[in-house]
Amino acid sequence: MTPASRRYLTLAVLGLLLGLGIPLAMGGSELYPLLRQVPLATLLTLLGMILVAWNLNAGRLRLLAGGAGLHLGQGRALAILMATEFAICATPAGSGGPATFAWLLRRHGLAGPQSLALYAADQFMDLLFFLSALIIVSLHWLFAPQDLHLGWQLGVMTALLIGAIAVVWFSLSHYRPLFLLTGRVLRHLHVGQRWRQRLARRALEFRRNLAMVRTYPQPRLAALFALCSAHWLLRYSVLYIAVGAVGGSIPWSYSFLAQMISLGAGQATLLPGGSGGAEASSSLLLAPYLDPVAAAGAILLWRFATYYWYLIAGAPVFAILAGGALWRQLPTSTSTLPDTTQSQRKPGTTPR
């Protein structure tokens, strides 16, 4: 095991200890009897929602890849998605997700920048959905005032999303000054000319492939956004149902925003899956509505369905599709990205 892999394992163990320790400490001895009262049908419903969400995302991957000339079956797209989600949950701040996504699509014939461009387009569509959802939630709270506690947080999240979309737009529209600035910075850092040229070539290929997504027919783009919206609406309804399962009550709009804030705080910890930060922040956000035991039970149900289940179900899929070869490369940053200088097979051919 390499030193980088050992660091990953240490972070993963620390994340699990924090992620489980916080709700267990909150609930104490009363937590287990509460969880025993949760109907098995409710737990199966939560896992079923995640399965449907995965398939919606697999459909989105098929539409994205199909526009690039790669035709995937639903089963294959679902497997790629589950392996990518596992890598996101198992690595700090989800850093293994793009590399896994690009590596797996490369095995089906897409070059590295093309695969990463599809991943970036997928993430950009997520940003658009969350911005739209925040605007709708804001209007809902404006016309149907409730005793909610997240007014300024809503403004901050909206500002961050608008800022992220603006940065993406500026980067794509004014890439030449950005490239020149990046080149000067890399020269100042004593990066060799060969590496600077290679990085510039990859960045240009990435931008060209990302621009290709903008040429997709409008019906395909509309279908992509519809699948994106359905996926996130399902996934962000898990906490709402989990709260009801432990006997609590919470507005759906509040649970939606609470999850956004909690997962954002979790990413700031740089632990796999946002462990620790997600549990701590969600416990604070649920405090106005639930007692500590009920909040701990809801958090465990929510995190099991949206984090631990991703690890449990995704691990064997990742092992089958990628195995240890890719896992050992994930900590080595850019070396995991597919090399576009290598020959690529025709899209749709069977990987070796």
Between CA 106 and CA 100 the distance in angstroms is 10
Torsion angle, CA of 133/136/138/144, rounded to 10 degrees? -140
234, 53 in Cβ contact below 8 A? yes
Backbone angles phi, psi at 17, to 5 degrees: -65, -45
Q: How many other C-beta atoms can be found within 10 angstroms of the C-beta atom of residue 333?
A: 11
pLDDT at position 200 = 63
Among residues 125, 133, 205, the alpha carbon closest in space to that of 165 is found at: 125
Residue % of the chain over a pLDDT of 70: 72
Residues 6+ apart with CB under 8 A from 120: 206, 210
Q: How many other C-beta atoms can be found within 10 angstroms of the C-beta atom of residue 263?
A: 18
CA separation, residue 350 to residues 64, 105, 111, 256, 345 (Å): 19, 11, 15, 41, 9
Confidence of residue 181 (pLDDT cuts 50, 70, 90): low
* Average confidence (pLDDT) over 143-156: 60
**pLDDT tens-digit series, residues 262-320:** 988 888 888 888 888 999 999 989 998 999 999 999 999 999 999 999 999 999 999 99
**Least-confidence region, from 40-49, 126-135, 140-149:** 140-149
Domain ranges of the chain: 3-336
**pLDDT tens-digit series, residues 326-340:** 766 665 543 444 443
* DSSP single-letter state for residue 308: I
Structure token digits, residue 39 = 């109907």
pLDDT at position 215 = 83
Q: How many other C-beta atoms can be found within 10 angstroms of the C-beta atom of residue 188?
A: 8
308, 81 in Cβ contact below 8 A? no
The single-letter code of the amino acid at 2 is: T
Q: How many other C-beta atoms can be found within 10 angstroms of the C-beta atom of residue 44?
A: 10
DSSP 3-38: HHHHHHHHHHHHHHHHHHHHHHHHHGGGHHHHHHTS
Structure token digits, residue 259 = 């999850």
306, 40 in Cβ contact below 8 A? no
Helix (H, G, I), strand (E, B) or coil at 316: helix
Q: Is the pTM of this model over 0.85?
A: no
Between CA 348 and CA 60 the distance in angstroms is 17
110, 70 in Cβ contact below 8 A? yes
Between CA 303 and CA 340 the distance in angstroms is 38
305, 238 in Cβ contact below 8 A? yes
